[in-house]
Structure 1
């Protein structure tokens, strides 16, 4: 049976200070990758985002997916 896999994208906001970035700089750099302000807000609210968004974040932050995403299995 297939089930929804939840990904919590919370570590991105822990990585920003290490990269000397803020959500403001993320929004500005994100324009090149079509990251909107609402997408950043979705990340801050730990809501779902697309794999394209995750790819863009990895490019912007020069990091691996495992640096910004943690897998949390559903309670089935």
Structure 2
């Protein structure tokens, strides 16, 4: 499946990290958003960030990989954008 660009409504630019793989990984696991929040203490704010493709730290990505027993690419993908900063 080819990733799609998601507009960030505040800045009008495309996000470069996208969390659509997370939802498939979660669906194929024994976990749910409820269990992530209540059993594993993942905040509802993190679930909201996953829904809205907002930035999150690598510690959170590590926790999600540990809980879901998956690799980081099963949670997020990098989507190149014309808006990428020149290095």
Q: Is the pair's TM-score, using the shorter chain for normalization, greater than 0.5?
A: yes
Larger radius of gyration: 2
Match of 2:19 in 1: 9
Report 1 or 2 for greater relative contact order, CA contacts < 8 Å, sequence distance ≥ 6.
1
- The answer for unaligned runs of 5 or more in structure 2 is 1-14
For residues 1-48 of structure 1, the C-alpha deviation after alignment (integer angstroms, 9 at most, x for no partner) is xxxx821112111111211221111112331xxx31111111111111
CA contact (8 A) 2:49 2:56 kept: yes
CA contact (8 A) 2:18 2:53 kept: yes
TM-score (norm 2): 0.69
Root-mean-square deviation (Å) = 1.7
Measure, in 1, the Cα distance between the counterparts of 2:52 and 2:45.
10
Which 4+ stretches in 1 moved above 2 angstroms? none
- The answer for unaligned runs of 5 or more in structure 1 is none
Match of 2:57 in 1: 50
User: Is the helix fraction higher in 1 or 2?
Assistant: 1
CA contact (8 A) 2:21 2:73 kept: no
